[in-house]
Structure 1
Amino acid sequence: MDVVIPCPAVRTSPATGGELHLAGPWRIATTDHRLTTVARTVRALLEPHLGDRLLPPSADDGTPDHGGPGTGPAVLVLALDAESPAPDRAPVGVSPRGTAEPVDESHRLTVTRRGITCRAATPEGVFRAATTAIQLLAASTDRTPCQELSDAPRHAWRGLMVDPARGYLTPGELRRVIDLAALYKLNVLHLHLTDNEGWRLQLPSVPELTSDRADGSPGSLGEYYTVEDYRALQDYAADRFVTVVPEIDLPGHCAALRAALPDLPAAPAPEGLAGRFPFVPPLDLADPATKAVVTSVLTEVCRLTDGPFVHIGGDEAVGMTADSFVLAVRELRACVRAAGKRPLAWQESSRAGIGAEDIVQYWVDVPMMDLPDTEEELAGRPDLLAAGHTLDLIRALRQFFAPADEDLARVLDGGGRVLLSPQSHLYLDRPYPPDVIPAEQAESVSRLGFATYRPRGVRPTAAWDPTSHGVPDARIAGIEATLFGESIEGLDDLTVLLLPRLTSVAEAAWSGRAPEWEAHRARVARHARLWQDRGLSYLASTEIPWP
């Protein structure tokens, strides 16, 4: 059975046929010292699936072959091979590792009756092949056909954003998320580290941001990543060829920062806004004290970050004038660049001007928000009513988000790059509809997801086509799923919202197209075993033919 996600581009079978029995025992072999770390990482990823069927490292003697079938353990061989298949087209987008050209991740995987061989021209390509091998071992039954699989990515940036600012995840839980991302060939973990609800990164230059506050005001509340946590997390991710991108969300979404530093003035507000709707006043980057704090924060975040990118936020800055917002975005960009990193920001930042070096994360337009127009339509949206939405509030939301309809054109006209994260399909904090939730999960799953999003199941996410937004290939930075943490109370909540939907995002990001639904759902069904081995909760959606 075909179990690999993303589905390999080329699959061939030998004329002699045959099968590989997967029971093992298994050993890992490589003769190249450049793959020592890759071999160690692959072993760690395999352990939950093979257990004592994975022989100890002492058995990994570096010999890539050994007799015939049945004469010894099966072997997973990792090999650098300059003649491995080069991609038939260059990947689209920006390398998350900051290289001028994306790293070659093309690879070939050969299954014989004696084992599996992973070949590529680069260690990263070998690792991608090895994740395919891990899926074969974890999601297949007791055997798999002899075959050769060749593959290469369509998109260079394949990301997942999680939100510990609202739904804190321990460093150990984040490592499990990194493992999951790597197994599906994602290569970016975007950490939304700050928001109104919390500040999750220790910065010794501004210790107030993670000091405990007895009044219960927004902030760290004792849960944050120390400098040592953050550095160790980046090292762990790098071993899996995943780049960590931190986000410090400014100038809005700043209640936690304001609670720690309460004397910073509010940004100038638009006339007539005060008193109509509640909002946290954004920061005023024209204020010298505010600018000094923000400069200190971003400079230290850049210093602590190994990767080349730092995300500055820039979304939903409710309560500041257009001029004040433009100034803030320009100051934030300049600060990150002065510290030697490349800034990313949400699409609203395009209103501060766009150049060829700018990358914006596209997430919303008004049609995508799916808002009702009349009281009758609102009455048919229990999700919005339960969240306290009135028609007056919905009209205000339409007005506030109206400029978003032009953001994509602004980016393209200005020569910038687009990181595709459309709310309609790639926001995985969207609730599941009741009709796809099995009865035994109804109570635990029904509370998950952002209440104002119309619920959607697995199939709508799988239907997303990366080309549907009309962004030319040369202007796509990459693809990134997001999962904001308003309803998250732990790792189980997070993975139930991610799985099975993350699999189709990984498919689209790697292959550049939506998967064929019937074949995809059959492959997804086999991955329940992989998730169970790893202790990951998931939605047993009725859309999937689980074994």
Structure 2
Amino acid sequence: MNAVIPQPRQATRTGATAGPRASGSWRVHSADARLRDLATTVHALLAPHLGDRLQPLGAVPDPDAATLTLALDGAASPDFRTPVGLAPTGEAGPVDESYLLTVGTEGVDCRAATPAGVFRAATTALHLLVTSGDRIPCQELTDAPHYAWRGLLVDPARGYLAPGELRALIDLAALYKLNVLHLHLTDNEGWRLEIPGVPELTAPAADGTPRAFYTTDDYRELQDYAAERFVTLVPEIDLPGHCATLREALPGLPAAPAPEGLTGRFPFVPPLDLTDPATAKAVATILDGVCRLTDGAFVHIGGDEAVGATEESFVQSIRELRSRVREFGKRPIGWQESSRAGVGPEDIAQFWVDVPMMDLPDTAEELSARPELLAAGHTLEFIAALKAFFAPADHDLARILDGGGRVLLSPQSHLYLDRAYAAQVVPPGQASTAVRLGFPTYRPRDVEHAARWEPASHSIPDDRVAGVEATVFAESVEFLDDVTTLLLPRLPSVAAAAWTGRAPDWNDHRTRLAHHGRLWEQRGLAYLASTEIPWAGQDPE
């Protein structure tokens, strides 16, 4: 078998059985001058896995080396239907990412009608090289995505990631055929993007401590790096709630009008009031800067959990945020709560929660069986207040569809990968790491739980789905190793569902995953060696 993830749509063994030696020397060859830059990118992706067995680009070919050939070939594009959803590049229609990969006796040919398709084939070839043992069986693979938008959200606002660490995550996303990196850049805990004209946002703290953030040059370089791997960066400036760092940087901005009786009952950062002229001006300057810095077509405005704002204030704020992003030439995306400000066919809402998927107890007996909630200090009164606050979420999905909007699927129940692992699947050697990772109030789950998510389970017509996006928020993380341990081995399961449009067969998928620990180790990525998976001799520590 091959252990490619996502599993290709069609795989055919060819007559010859002795393919090229995966453990031998390899070179990358671009059969078209238009693919020379792509060959450089593919060569860089292969380097951690092949080491000195990978010939330098442009070197005199070693006659004993196998060849990874990159070629543009319109006739090689398989006849699959157009992918569902939005092209993250903002193009009118989804990019053709279909490809044909052929393993012959002398090497691997990656052919497609577009450079994007050739690149997807090359990542498949990398999987074959790493997971096939000594020789790659001769075979032909044809493949194409189901969803056009396949994303991963990371959260440097709470857990800062240096530019080099973000590049490692871009590589990881690309290797599993994801094509969006959603950067949650602002929150109560941090503001991570330099905004021209608003230096206060990234200035040192009052005690002189420097803040970690991405300079405009960092941001441009990250976008370029991602684009070389056919990944689009989507920045998120989360407003009108989640605004503590903005308030600290720009003191004196008035709070949004609050519902009667709320003040003093629960702690919250007052949301911004975008009907206030000074607030609206400051936010407009920020969004103008973000839109000017961003190459892609989309900017995420947040819009979630605006605790402490009246309905009228929230609606006015969301409409102002959307209007400003459009005025500056980008398309706004908001969390599902933004649908409460009205929805039209041009709107995109990211679906993440309803009360049932929050999985909260109703009785004292049920609460006593949830140690993670008790440890977080949750009481029945607080849980009842949470349910009341999130009750409108039960109607958001219908509101989006009724208004003609598009849904970006990120259900908390399965695609929030900042969920602790179930203790029974954690190997003893990783117990101390696993116990401190994950959002403290989510019920811990095993890897199989995430892998069994079906995109169709939400009963959304395909033409109304914008795409699929996993998230890994950073409330519990300190290092890149923490992020990748939460992501791996779960992210490939979500990537498989996003690429194929359905949950992978668990028994087949866990067998494929068993060979990918080697791939992650070769890239220096920490992962959880779940006992559900028959690992092929890897040691994650």
> What is the distance in 2 between the residues matched to 1:465 and 1:244?
26
Letter in 2 for 1:161: L
Cα shift readout 1:374-399 (whole Å, capped 9, x = no counterpart): 11111111101111111111000000
Judge conservation of contact 2:19–2:105 (CA < 8 Å) in 1: yes
More displaced 10-residue stretch of structure 1: 231-240 or 87-96: 87-96
> What displacement does 1:275 show?
0.7
TM-score, normalization by structure 1: 0.97
Aligned to 2:322: 333
User: In the alignment, is the contact (CA less than 8 A) between 2:78 and 2:142 conserved in 1?
Assistant: no
**3-state DSSP class of the match of 1:372?**
coil
Structure 1 60/483 Cα, relative in aligned 2: closer, same or farther at 3 Å? farther
- Aligned ranges 1:11-160 → 2 under 5 Å: 11-59=11-59, 72-160=64-152
Q: Residue 144 of structure 1: SS of its match in structure 2?
A: coil
The equivalent residue for 1:167 is: 159
Q: 2:78 touches 2:100 (CA, 8 Å); kept in 1?
A: no
Equivalent residue number for residue 375 of structure 1: 364
2:414 counterpart letter in structure 1: H
Does 1:454 pair with 2:446?
no
- Deviation string, structure 1 residues 210-256 (Cα, Å, up to 9, x no partner): 0011349xxx9520000000000000000000000000000000001
Shift of 1:473: 0.3
- 2:539 match: none
Amino acid at match of 1:232: E
1:228 to 199, 211, 217: 217
Q: Which position in structure 1 is the counterpart of 2:474?
A: 485
Paired residue type of 1:270: P
**Alignment partner, residue 422 of structure 1:** 411
Give me the CA root mean square deviation.
1.1
- Report the 3-state secondary structure (helix = DSSP H, G, I; strand = E; otherwise coil) of the residue aligned with 1:345: strand
Query: In structure 2, what is the equivalent of residue 350 of structure 1?
Result: 339
Say which SS state the counterpart of residue 83 (structure 1) adopts: helix
SS for the counterpart of 2:274 is coil
**Equivalent residue of 1:408, what SS?**
helix
> Secondary structure of 1:143's partner?
coil
Q: Which of 333, 354, 375 is matched with 1:386 structurally?
A: 375
Query: Matched residues in 2 for 1:271 and 1:351: separation?
Result: 20
Q: Which amino acid aligns with 2:337?
A: E
Supply the AA of the counterpart residue of 2:326. R
* SS of corresponding position for 2:20: strand
| Secondary structure at the counterpart of residue 58 of structure 2 | helix
- The Cα offsets for residues 403-422 of structure 1, whole Å up to 9 and x where unpaired, read as 00000000000000000000
What is the distance in 2 between the residues matched to 1:502 and 1:13? 28
**Are residue 202 (structure 1) and residue 194 (structure 2) matched?**
yes
In the TM superposition, residue 17 of structure 1 has moved relative to its aligned partner by 3.2
Describe the SS at the equivalent of 2:76. coil
SS in 2 for 1:97: coil
Which one-letter code corresponds to 1:265 in the other structure?
P
Tell me how far apart the structure 2 counterparts of residues 139 and 223 of structure 1 sit (CA, whole Å). 38
Q: Which of 431-440 and 137-146 deviates more?
A: 137-146
Is 2:42–2:119's contact at 8 Å kept on the other side of the alignment? Answer: yes
Mapped to 2, the partners of 1:362 and 1:537 lie a distance apart of 29
Contact 1:27 1:59 in 2 (8 A): no
The answer for the alignment partner of 2:185 in structure 1 is 193
Number of aligned residue pairs: 536
Counterpart check, 1:270 vs 2:267: no
CA contact (8 A) 2:363 2:380 kept: yes
Determine which of 458, 466, 473 is the counterpart of 1:469. 458
Q: What residue in structure 2 maps to residue 6 of structure 1?
A: 6
After the TM superposition, which segments of 4 or more aligned residues of structure 1 sit over 3 Å from their partners? Answer: none
Q: How does 1:398-437 map to 2 (within 5 A)?
A: 398-437=387-426
Cα separation, 1, equivalents of 2:327 and 2:49: 46
CA distance in 2, matches of 1:483, 1:252: 19
Counterpart-to-counterpart distance in 2, 1:178 and 1:92: 23
Residue number in structure 2 paired with 1:212: 204
Q: Give the one of 488, 497, 512 matched to 1:508.
A: 497
2:298 corresponds to: 309
CA contact (8 A) 2:226 2:232 kept: yes
Cα contact 2:22–2:130 (8 A) shared by 1: no
With over 3 angstroms needed to count, the CA separation of the structure-2 counterparts of 1:87 and 1:252, relative to structure 1, is farther
Q: Is 465-474 or 221-230 further displaced after alignment?
A: 221-230
Any stretches of 5+ residues in structure 1 without a counterpart?
Answer: none
Question: CA separation in 1, counterparts of 2:447 and 2:264?
Answer: 40
Separation in structure 2 between the aligned mates of residue 534 and residue 8 of structure 1, nearest angstrom: 23
Q: Supply the distance in 2 between the matched residues of 1:49 and 1:7 (Cα, whole angstroms).
A: 21
In 1: Cα distance, 2:23 partner to 2:528 partner: 28
In 2, distance between residues paired with 1:221 and 1:487? 22
CA contact (8 A) 1:27 1:60 kept: no
Specify whether residues 198 and 221 from structure 1 end up closer, same or farther in structure 2 by C-alpha distance, changes over 3 A only: farther
The Cα of 1:72 is off from its aligned counterpart by 2.1
Deviations 1:1-49 (A, max 9, x none): 3210000000111234333221221111112111111100000000000
Cα distance in 2 between the residues matched to 1:215 and 1:358: 42
SS in 2 for 1:59: coil
1:60 Cα offset (Å): 6.8
CA distance in structure 2 between the aligned counterparts of 1:129 and 1:12, rounded to whole angstroms:
15
1:311-330 C-alpha deviation (Å, 9 max, x unpaired): 00000000000000000000
**1:170-215 residue CA offsets vs partner (Å, 9 max, x unmatched):** 0000000000000000000000000000000011211100001134
8 Å contact from structure 1 (residues 28, 60) kept in 2: no
| Structure-2 separation of matches of 1:37 and 1:459 | 38
The percentage of counterpart residues that share the same residue type is 67
2:272 to 275, 283, 293: 283
Distance 1:352 1:50 in 2: 52
- When residues 120 and 545 of structure 1 are mapped into structure 2, their CA distance, relative to the original with a 3 A threshold, is same
User: Structure 2: how far apart are the matches of 1:205 and 1:237?
Assistant: 26
Give the residue type in structure 2 aligned to 1:347. Answer: Q
Alpha-carbon separation, structure 2, partners of 1:31 and 1:537: 36
Counterpart of 2:43 in structure 1: which amino acid?
A: R
Q: Secondary structure at the match of 1:21?
A: coil
Give the whole-Å Cα distance in 2 for the aligned partners of 1:129 and 1:243: 18
Structure 2 spans left out of the alignment, 5+ residues: 537-541
- Return the TM-score normalized by structure 2: 0.98
